[in-house]
Amino acid sequence: MAPIVMAHIFPSFAYGGQQARFAALAGGLGRGFTHHVVALDGDKAARALLSSDVSVTFHDFKARKSSLASIRNIAGFQHLLKAIKPDILCTYNWGAMEAVVANRLGVGAPNIHFEDGFGEQEDLTRQKTRRVWARRFWLRKSVVVAPSLRLESLAADVWKLNRERVIRIPNGVDFERFQITPTRLGRHIEVGSIGALRPEKNYLRLIAAFLKADPDQKAKLTIVGEGPQRPALAAAIKHASATDRISLPGATQAPEQYYSNFDAYAVSSDTEQAPLTMMEAMAAGLPVASTNVGDVAAIVADENRAFITPLGDENAFALALAHLIQNSDARSTLGAANRRKAKKEYDVAKMIERHRVLYLSVARLK
């Protein structure tokens, strides 16, 4: 049989959970699939995550920014998709909606639309009316995949999409990859976080909470990632005279090397759904302090749930961090519980198989 040809339209292919998941899927699906990838902002940094034996072709496509839709972008997508001739079109988040429109207006490939969360302008409770109506209309014939329970409910209850076409596939991690030898003993305590430096991640909140949680200056904070918020974060660190305690080492292809140094993991986001890096941290045996966003409270082990704090309660978030910094027994107990849950529930093989079944069923519908 000829390989199934898949076109993937990403708003960006910078390092992030969505891109890491795609790399795992492309590698796990094997030679029965070929992949064509478009990064609408031109950033293809995360291609370094792809295995060398995976068939992935990157296409240049410079999208014009528009408030809702650009006729030029839609025409460009139609031209590109006619050239690729995909068996399945995969689109990712709101930023790829023009490709959904282009496909519906002429190309007609089966569409799987992945929604993983929102930027700073939207969240689960704050939806733009025009975008709700656009999703409701243009995605009504698509299969919509969400990683979280709350996003699955949003698609059905707010966007009013057919529940039979909304599918939840939880993210998964390669558990064995994150079974690493800790390098934490006999040194300072280190809090870590990995993610794109974007406003919705609110790393300014994490910096402020860390400084409050560690008044004796015995711990360190490492925020791994790259993005537009770097200048603001660097300025905040400098203003706090904390450059010796808080570092921004940039993006990484090997997050497991950082988890081996971390004693605790932090999520400070204003909006998340099912953060893949948090699952990786759990697999590495780390306790988690997080704002209560998306499915975070349900993802961590029961023992860790007290450290998931109400969004906007900055004092509670700082106290959760302080407890993890100061209490080695709590770190050990919570980390072990998280590791057990990650191994049981967030298996990358299960995620890959569910995607394979979905892709094959959609391809047969052509």
Beta pairing, strands 4-10 & 246-250: unpaired
Q: Which 3 state secondary structure label does DSSP give 40?
A: coil
Same domain assignment for residues 265 and 303? yes
| Residues 263 and 326 reside in one and the same domain | yes
Nearest to 274 by CA among 213, 339, 328, 346: 346
Q: What is the pLDDT of residue 231?
A: 97
CATH, residue 253? 3.40.50.2000
Residues 267 and 301 in one domain: yes
Tokens of 218: 């015995």
pLDDT grade for 186, boundaries at 50, 70 and 90: low
pLDDT score of 126? 87
> In the predicted model, what is the mean pLDDT of residues 90-103?
96
In whole angstroms, what is the distance from residue 192 CA to residue 318 CA? 14
Q: What distance lies between CA 12 and its chain's CA centroid? A: 12
Q: What is the pLDDT of residues 195-227, one digit of tens each?
A: 999 999 999 999 999 999 999 999 999 999 999
How confident is the model over 309-361, as pLDDT tens digits?
A: 999 999 999 999 999 999 999 999 999 999 999 999 999 999 999 999 999 99
Which residues neighbour 324 within 8 Å (Cβ) at sequence distance 6 or greater?
A: 191, 263, 264, 287, 289, 307, 330, 331, 334
Is there a single domain that holds both residue 16 and residue 132?
Answer: yes
Question: Tens digit of pLDDT for each residue in 9-49?
Answer: 999 999 988 999 999 999 999 989 999 999 999 999 999 99
Residue showing tokens 């709101």: 94
Range of the domain at 245: 175-345
User: Do 216 and 164 lie in a common domain?
Assistant: no
Using pLDDT thresholds of 50, 70 and 90, give the confidence band for residue 50. very high
**Are 300 and 357 in a shared domain?**
no
Read off the pTM.
Answer: 0.88
Instruction: Tell me which residue has tokens 């014939």.
Output: 141
Overall number of domains in the chain: 2
Residues with Cβ within 8 Å of residue 317, at least 6 apart in sequence: 205, 209, 268, 289, 291, 309
How do residues 247-274 score in pLDDT, each as one tens digit? 999 999 899 999 999 999 999 999 998 9
Is residue 183 very low, low, confident or very high in pLDDT (cuts 50, 70, 90)? low
Instruction: Write the CB contacts of 245 (distance below 8 Å, at least 6 apart in sequence).
Output: 214, 217, 219, 220, 221
Q: Are residues 250 and 152 in the same domain?
A: no
Q: How confident is residue 68, by pLDDT bands cut at 50, 70 and 90?
A: low
Compare 183 and 78 and report the one with higher pLDDT.
78
